[in-house]
Amino acid sequence: MQNSTSTSTTPIILQRGTEPYQQTFDAMRAFTDARDANTPNEFWIVEHPPVFTLGLGADQSHVLAAHNIPVVQTDRGGEVTYHGPGQVVIYLMMDLRRSHPKARLFAREFVHKIEQAVIDTLAAYNLAGERKEGAPGIYVSDGAFKGAKIAALGLKVRGNGCTYHGVSLNVDMDLAPFSWINPCGYAGLATVDMKTLGVHAALADVQNALAQNLQDLLSAPD
């Protein structure tokens, strides 16, 4: 595994490789169950085989046609999304109490920083991304694919301020499965990846870039 840590407040970056979603989901919950006030924060980089995941409030009818892809119920926020090869997925195993004494009040700022890390990563590849009010994630902000979703965000924040789940960024994917769902509950929402936007980047390079940007934005208490 690949590790990077410089201070006690800097999350450790772990590369988990390709891993079935259910295995990672179980591991996230076990890690969070077992952690205490001294457990280091960790970012888990992973690539999943094809899977649709449902958030706590998800409507099953938003899975229009699963095409034999597994559908997994999760405990994150949000609706339905797709994970598959060629997508950067980073799970954020964090204790928000280290950044803010009222951890749940810090959650919105936490989401904002995650989205900023995606925007910064895209900018390094000369791609412009933006937020949409009320629709977590990052969307293309200009060009022929303006408004298309390129990154998704879904988190679980426990009452004690500990988080898991995280963020996904589409790099070089088979985008067809996104058309088999209403992504994030929005019928007809266009989804795109970096390759379609003209960027040919190695998945590992984008994984590392996004992890570093997340580390920079989420390491030190405010």
Residues taking part in catalysis = 184
Distance CA 86, CA 69 (A): 16
Q: In sequence order, which residues have a C-beta less than 8 Å from that of residue 105 and are 6 or more positions away?
A: none
Kind plus residue range of the DSSP H or E element containing 126: none
Find out whether 117 and 210 touch, Cβ atoms under 8 Å. Answer: yes
- How many C-beta atoms lie closer than 10 Å to residue 15's C-beta? 17
* CA-wise closest residue to 182 among 149, 133, 140: 149
**DSSP per position, 68-115:** T--EEE-SSSSSEEEE-TTEEEEEEEEEGGGT-SSHHHHHHHHHHHHH
Q: Which residue has the tokens 């803010």?
A: 100
Tokens 């009222």 found at: 102
Q: Is 200 exposed, middle or buried (0-12, 13-18, 19+ CB in 10 A)?
A: exposed
